[in-house]
Amino acid sequence: MIMMSRHTFASILRTRIFWVMLIFSIVLISVIGYFLTSEMIKGAAYGGLGFEGGRHHHERGVGNYEYSGNKPSREEVDKMEMPIGDLGCDPEMGGAGKMFNTPFVAAIQYFGFIGMAFFSNLAAIFIMMGLLPGELERRSIYTLLSKPLSRSDVFFGKLFGGWGAVIVFNFALGLMLTIFMFLAGAPFKPKFLLVALVSTLSPMLFGTIALVLGTFLRATAVGFFTFILLVFSADWGSMAIYVVGHELLKWENLTDFILKYLPPLAKIKVLVGAFINYNLFTNLTDLFQSMDIYKVYTKWWLNALFVAAYFLVLIVAGWGIFRRKEFN
Amino acid sequence: MVVVEVENLTKIYGYPPMLWAKLFGYTLDMPMKGHKMVRAIDNLTLSVQEGEVFGLLGPNGSGKTTLVKLILDINRPTSGRISVFGRRPGNKRVHREVGYLPEQPYFYDNMNAVELLQFYGGLYRMDGDGLRSRIREALGLVGLIGSEHRRLRSYSKGMLQRIGLAQALLSHPKLVLLDEPSTGLDPVGRKQVKDIIARLRVEGSTVFFNTHILSDVEDVADRVAIIHRGKLLKIGKVSEMTISTNRIIVQLRKVEEKYITALADLASKCEVDGDSLVVHLTKADDVPEAIRQLVYAGADIFDVRYYRETLEDVFVREVMGEDGQGGVNK
């Protein structure tokens, strides 16, 4: 399995497309970010989601702001101390809106990290979608399966090798953005490197979905097409989840309630039920881009549990399919 | 010792999983037409002994490649049993002893030959100087020295076939499975393949290869099996399969009608082929008598030999005799 992982990892890094994607992502993020500065950046400063987003954060009582029931004005938001770790703000820099000392830094910080998530996810799909169907397309799977490797070795070798490449991609992107920020005059923050590293979970998950799709497809192109369909359907799903989730949030702290009052069996049932009501990627953003997690939203370990469950279900499904697959 | 044993093996592509088949009443002997299923292997039984060169013959679509894939656990049988070195296929320990050249092999084209062989060698846990010298040896064996640092994407079809052969032989396997090893090779390459097979036999390896190039089999195989539409038609040694019939070929100075008349009591049929007479004797024991009669009739005899069938004759007879035509599985 180690040999297979190393081979997969090296093969991906050897391809020209990997480096083209990486350079393209860095350039695009920097250029677009630079030209989308000024007003948008000012908005972005209020909580990483624009002015409305910042206000939205504070409606829930984050930082030093106590929610009174009325929407805070812009002046009020200006005075707020934002939670440490929110990408848009830093109390050490004097409160909301004052962190970005140049538009360029702001651009990289805001658009950079959002762009990073986008491009890394995209790259992960590109990288991992073709790993298994690609073997079939070039007919190298027959030779591979005749070697002293189990099907599990091949599957997990591809998975770990693919993950390795995705981590390199994401971390390289994060490193470059951090260096750009530093060069543009922002204080060097090792935290951003950490963010780059841990935010890799999202592209890793996208990559895993792509790999699992690849286990029952014969052509990489079909995989991409299927993925696009899935993303569209997931968008609708996300919207539904967003609505349902926000309706739930109005009631009370759901997870606190579950943990405090329900007996163990009921807890499991409710958590399983809640599983589909959580927007995975919103939780991931909150959890892994080191933003404050709203108390009303969920417990950190529940987020981690959801993420682990997604990985587990996908990996077990992909592994099961690949082990039984016939290669005609 | 039996290296490969196949017993009552059936492979039907598109056959539903066992539970599904039971639930919906599918049976192996039901007609597959209309169910989008293909019976690639049909109740096949054969075995390959240690150290022998076994040739599997069959027209296109007869199930040769399917059989090799079943032996390697790339595909799974619908019913029946396969064992390789006494174990079930797919076992890592089995695969450690197996080298396989797939039909029309393609590899990671961004690698060169050495990198590819290093990767495959690593899967056999070969490394260091041992692997390096073995790579050199394998490349020399297939005639790729000098091209080993070129990317595989620049290789011709024949060169890919050669690197495929090199990777199959890399680990000194006890069982070598070659799927159409001569395809895409020029006459020199085909001769090299035959030499490699002969060398493997001397080294004690078992070689199982399938082909539809009959001359390859005739020259190197100890035993041959002919399959058609997944069924085993004939199996045995090449010499047994091409055994002489009751026909003799007598070379004369000149063929005359009186010689044919002289053989009327002994032969069922006489054919003239230039200055030779092909005599279909009713009994094999009548050869001396037939020669005597020809001499009495005044014939000048220069040569007498048994007529031996070629493997091609056997193959065509068996395959065409099966259904009056060749052709692929339907």
Q: Are residues B28 and B80 in the same domain?
A: yes
For residue B209, how many C-alpha atoms fall within 13 Å in the half-sphere facing its CB?
A: 32
Is pLDDT larger for residue A283 or for residue B150?
A: B150
Quick one: B9 and B90 in the same domain?
yes
Residues A114-140 have pLDDT tens digits of 667 778 888 888 888 888 888 888 888
The answer on pLDDT for A184 being more than 80 is no
Number of domains in chain B: 2
Please enumerate in sequence order all residues whose Cβ is within 8 A of that of A98, keeping only pairs 6 or more positions apart, or say none. A45
* Of B241, B258, B277, the domain-final residue: B241
Whether the Cβ atoms of residue B3 and residue B175 lie closer than 8 Å to each other: yes
Of B193, B212, B241, the one marking the end of a domain is B241
Chain A, 109 to 168: residues with Cβ < 8 Å from chain B are 138-143, 145-151
* Structure-model confidence comparison of residues A188 and B83, the more confident one: B83
CB proximity list for B132: less than 8 A, separation 6 or greater? none
Cβ separation of A143 and B167 shorter than 8 Å? Answer: yes
Would you call B100 and A326 a contact, using CB atoms and an 8 Å cutoff? no
| Contact in structure between A79 and A72 (CB atoms under 8 Å) | no
Cβ-contact B149, B112 below 8 angstroms:
yes
**B93–A139 C-beta distance less than 8 A:** no
User: Do B181 and B298 have their domain in common?
Assistant: no
- How many beta-carbon pairs below 8 A join chains A and B? 72
In the three-class reduction of DSSP (H, G, I as helix; E, B as strand; rest coil), residue B238 is classed as: helix
Q: What are B187-238's pLDDT values in tens digits?
A: 887 888 888 888 888 888 899 988 877 777 877 888 888 888 888 888 888 7
Q: Rounded distance, CA B38 to CA B20, Å?
A: 17
- ipTM of predicted complex: 0.77
Instruction: Summarize the confidence of residues B19-34 as an average pLDDT.
Output: 68
Tell me: do B6 and B64 sit in the same domain: yes
Task: Tell me the percentage of chain A whose pLDDT exceeds 90.
Answer: 5
pLDDT at A261 over 70: no
- Minimal Cβ distance to B95: which of A3, A4, A148: A148
For B262-284, what is each residue's pLDDT tens digit? 888 888 888 888 888 888 888 87
pLDDT band at A163 (very low <50, low <70, confident <90, very high): very high
Task: Check A149 against B123: CB less than 8 A apart.
Answer: yes
Paired tokens of A11? 């093969």
Residue B165 lies in a domain: no
What would the pLDDT profile of B27-80 be if each residue is shown by its tens digit?
Answer: 766 666 566 777 888 888 888 888 898 988 888 888 888 999 999 888 888 888
pLDDT tens-digit readout, A230-244? 666 655 555 555 555
Instruction: Decide: B9 and B69 in contact? Cβ < 8 Å.
Output: no
Answer yes or no: do B237 and B251 share one domain: no
B13 chain-A contacts, CB cut-off 8 A: 328
Q: Are residues B287 and B214 in the same domain?
A: no
What is residue B173's three-state secondary structure? coil
Residues A177, A178, A184, A187: what is their CA dihedral angle, to the nearest 10 degrees? 160
Tokens at residue A87, please?
């990408």
Q: Report the CATH number that the domain containing residue B277 is assigned in CATH.
A: 3.30.70.100
- Together in a domain, B292 and B195: no
Segment (H or E) for B277: strand B276-281
Domain residues for the domain of B293 are 247-306
Q: Is B20 on the interface with A (CB under 8 A)?
A: no
Residue % of chain B over a pLDDT of 70: 93
* Residue B78 included in any domain: yes
Considering only residues 157 to 176 of chain B, which have any Cβ-Cβ distance to chain A shorter than 8 Å? 164, 167
pLDDT at B248: 85
State whether A148 and B69 contact (CB < 8 Å).
no
CA dist B211 and B217 (Å) reads 8
Q: Are residues B234 and B180 in the same domain?
A: yes
Q: Is residue B160 part of a domain?
A: no
Statement: residue A97 has pLDDT above 60: no
pTM score of the predicted model:
0.71
Task: Report pLDDT for B194.
Answer: 84
Residues B190 and B91 in one domain: yes
pLDDT grade for A112, boundaries at 50, 70 and 90: low
What is the Cα–Cα distance from A49 to A11, expressed in whole angstroms?
38
Tell me the CATH number at B180: 3.40.50.300
Chain A environment of B105 (Cβ under 8 Å): 139-140, 142-143
pLDDT bracket for residue B88 (50, 70, 90): confident
Cβ proximity of A277 and A241 under 8 Å: yes
Contact of B210 with B239, CB cutoff 8 Å: no
- Flag if B102 and A142 touch (Cβ within 8 Å): yes
B38 and B69 in one domain? yes
Q: Which of residues 258-297 of B touch A (CB under 8 A)?
A: none
pLDDT value at residue B189: 79
For residue range B91-103, list pLDDT tens digits in order: 888 888 898 988 8
Give the mean model confidence (pLDDT) for residues A289-306.
Answer: 50
pLDDT band at A161 (very low <50, low <70, confident <90, very high): very high
On average, the pLDDT of chain B sits at 82
Convert the pLDDT of each residue in A47-83 to its tens digit.
Answer: 443 344 444 444 444 444 454 555 555 565 555 544 3
Residues B296 and B181 in one domain: no
Q: DSSP string covering B126-151, please?
A: --HHHHHHHHHHHHHHTT-TTSTTSB
The answer, for B102 touching chain A at a CB cutoff of 8 Å, is: yes
Which among B13, B95, B119 has CB closest to A328?
A: B13
B182-199 pLDDT tens trace: 877 788 878 888 888 888
Q: Please report which confidence band the pLDDT of residue A165 belongs to, taking 50, 70 and 90 as the band edges.
A: very high
Q: What is the 3-state secondary structure (H, E, C) of chain A?
A: CHHHHHHHHHHHHHCHHHHHHHHHHHHHHHHHHHHCCCHHHHHHHCCCCHHHHHHHHHHCCCCCCCCCCCCCCHHHHHHCCCCCCCCCCCHHHCCCCCCCCCHHHHHHHHHHHHHHHHHHHHHHHHHHHCHHHHHHHCCCHHHHHHCCCCHHHHHHHHHHHHHHHHHHHHHHHHHHHHHHHHHCCCCCCHHHHHHHHHCCHHHHHHHHHHHHHHHCCCCHHHHHHHHHHHHHHHHHHHHHHHHHHHHHHHHCCHHHHHHHHCCHHHHHHHHHHHHCCCCHHHHHHHHHCCCCCCCCCCCHHHHHHHHHHHHHHHHHHHHHHHHHCCCC
Does the residue B27 lie in any domain? Answer: yes
Identify the H or E element spanning B271: strand B267-273
